[in-house]
Amino acid sequence: MSTPNIHGIIGYTITPFSTDGQGLDLDALGRSIDRLIDSGVHAIAPLGSTGEGAYLSDAEWDQVSEFSIARVAGRVPTVVSVSDLTTAKAVRRARFAQAKGADVVMVLPASYWKLSEAEILAHYQAIGASIDLPIMLYNNPATSGIDMSVELILRIFNGVDNVTMVKESTGDIQRMHKLQLLGEGQVPFYNGCNPLALEAFAAGAKGWCTAAPNLIPQLNLDLYAAVLANDLSQARALFYRQLPLLDFILKGGLPATIKAGLRTLGLEVGDPRLPVFPLDEARNQQLQTMLKQLL
């Protein structure tokens, strides 16, 4: 099993659509990937929330997955989100991503129903058994409807060989403390909640999974560098500088704000798919003002 060192700034990609929202714009996708890599991010994560993975048909999902991995072309590791509503479908996606060259797959226990702990564990076991890649377990009750306790996460981490990383997005920093204590410092954890970027690093997070580097990569990278340099004052100052934008992205919705921001920065990637609205004019102005101040 390949074991890439996933750390630092892990940049989420958007999925560009053609003007009518129907087709994919792979050309724009390629350019958005290149921008992220050129800016210095340490890994690329296609098809997450930002990538509107849940809103793609299976055929589109396959296309975006294959294209993204090929475009990254090993310049940095690729972490592909393969979550799906049934175990069978998630397994299919995981295998597909592996076949196309992904380095890591990320799995959120997305479900229509609340799942029992045994059901969640079996879900991870089935996916784990179907591939040879490391899996980043992803906890995000706000989108999945399922909140995995730290105890359950550790059961899965210890019980499924290729679950080797944990991404925590509850917004509760104490979950990371508990992962660190109960996991005896042996569980690499990653932050998925933008407004906790500083605190997660303070708590020992190995990386930050974020869509923000589509817009402000240098500030994201500088924050990580300040942490590596053990310079808390500098990290705090950098964090507060970018926090208003991080909050704005969260409140405005990831696809809507990142797509609007990329348009402002000169890369047309279309709008999110309905029912999600593109950013309205007032917020577009706000975003442009914020970006002007930060860039």
Kindly identify the residues of this chain, within the stretch 149-168, that bind a copy of itself according to CB under 8 A. none
CA quadruple 241, 242, 246, 252: dihedral, nearest 10 = 80
Task: Decide: 178 and 148 in contact? Cβ < 8 Å.
Answer: no
Both structure tokens of 176: 């990371």
Both structure tokens of 261: 């921001």
Told to check if 230 binds a copy of itself by CB under 8 A, we report: yes
Told to check if 244 binds a copy of itself by CB under 8 A, we report: yes
Nearest distance in Å: CB 76, a copy of itself? 26
Cα–Cα dist 218/292, whole Å? 14
Told to check if 173 binds a copy of itself by CB under 8 A, we report: yes
Task: Give the three-state DSSP class for 112.
Answer: coil
Please choose, out of 5-13, 114-122, 150-158, 206-214, the segment that lies near a copy of itself by the rule CB under 8 A: 114-122
Question: For a copy of itself, which residue of 4, 25, 40, 55 counts as binding (CB under 8 A)?
Answer: 55
Task: Decide: 17 and 26 in contact? Cβ < 8 Å.
Answer: no
Draw the binding track, 82-101, toward a copy of itself (x: CB under 8 A; -: no contact): ---xxxx-------------
Please choose, out of 11-19, 31-39, 195-203, 216-224, the segment that lies near a copy of itself by the rule CB under 8 A: 195-203
Q: Which value, in Å, is the radius of gyration of the alpha carbons in the chain?
A: 18
Told to check if 130 binds a copy of itself by CB under 8 A, we report: no
Cα–Cα dist 286/97, whole Å? 38
Told to check if 294 binds a copy of itself by CB under 8 A, we report: no
* HEC readout, 46-77: CCCCCCCHHHCCHHHHHHHHHHHHHHHCCCCC
Cβ nearer to a copy of itself, comparing 1 with 112? 112
Question: For a copy of itself, which residue of 73, 99, 129, 181 counts as binding (CB under 8 A)?
Answer: 181
Listed residue (277, 273, 259) closest to 21, CA to CA: 273
List residues binding a copy of itself (CB under 8 A): 21, 49, 52, 54-55, 85-88, 109, 111-116, 118-120, 122-123, 126, 142-143, 145, 171, 173-174, 177, 180-181, 195-196, 198-199, 202-204, 227, 230-233, 235-236, 240, 243-244, 253, 255, 273-277
